[in-house]
């Protein structure tokens, strides 16, 4: 269960931007078992509709799309920065099976996780086509 959110909007920060920032922080805490939209809305003391709209306006994505992108981003980091087995990485980012993870990774990134890992990090990071690319942790929205 999520703990109460105590952070306040930064001075001059629009409310929707604050909501998205806080939601992102809560979601990436545990990608293997992320909170549902209703739980996020309750903790942020807003409606599911407003939270969903804020995320869509702030990121261009729905909650499932955002979660998938964050899972793939974290998986890419783990593949390039650790020697963890692919099965462990799959569980860490919220997939119940290696097959599902590999399929989703290949769809999103354009190559299987093992091929991504075998490339040098620079090659792997520059060879990805499409909107999703590996990126270091971003601050804010």
Instruction: Specify the pLDDT at position 65.
Output: 94
Give pTM, 2 decimals.
Answer: 0.74
Instruction: Specify the pLDDT at position 30.
Output: 87
**CATH number, domain 64-127, options 3.40.1190.20, 1.10.10.10, 1.10.10.60, 3.90.550.10:** 1.10.10.60
Regions in the chain scoring below 70 on pLDDT: 1-7, 120-141
Instruction: Specify the pLDDT at position 28.
Output: 87
Instruction: Specify the pLDDT at position 13.
Output: 81
Report residue 68 as tokens. Answer: 């998938």
Residue 134 C-beta-side C-alpha neighbours within 13 Å: 21
List, as one string, the DSSP characters of 35-96: PPHHHHHHHTTS-HHHHHHHHHHHHSS-HHHHHHHHHHHHHHHHHHH----HHHHHHHTT-S
Instruction: Specify the pLDDT at position 94.
Output: 94
Instruction: Specify the pLDDT at position 127.
Output: 46
């Amino acid at each position: 269960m999520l703990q109460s959110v105590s952070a306040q909007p930064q001075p001059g920060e629009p409310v929707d931007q604050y909501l998205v920032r806080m939601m992102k922080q809560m979601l990436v805490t545990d990608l293997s078992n992320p909170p549902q939209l209703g739980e996020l809305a309750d903790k942020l003391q807003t409606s599911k509709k407003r939270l969903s709209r804020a995320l869509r306006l702030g990121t261009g994505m729905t909650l499932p799309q955002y979660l998938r992108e964050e899972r793939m981003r974290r998986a890419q980091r783990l593949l390039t920065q650790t020697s963890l087995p692919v099965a462990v990485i799959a569980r860490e980012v919220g997939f119940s099976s290696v097959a599902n993870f590999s399929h989703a990774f290949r769809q999103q990134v354009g190559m299987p996780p093992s091929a991504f890992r075998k490339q040098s990090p620079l090659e792997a990071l520059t060879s990805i086509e499409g909107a999703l690319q590996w990126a270091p942790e971003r601050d804010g929205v």
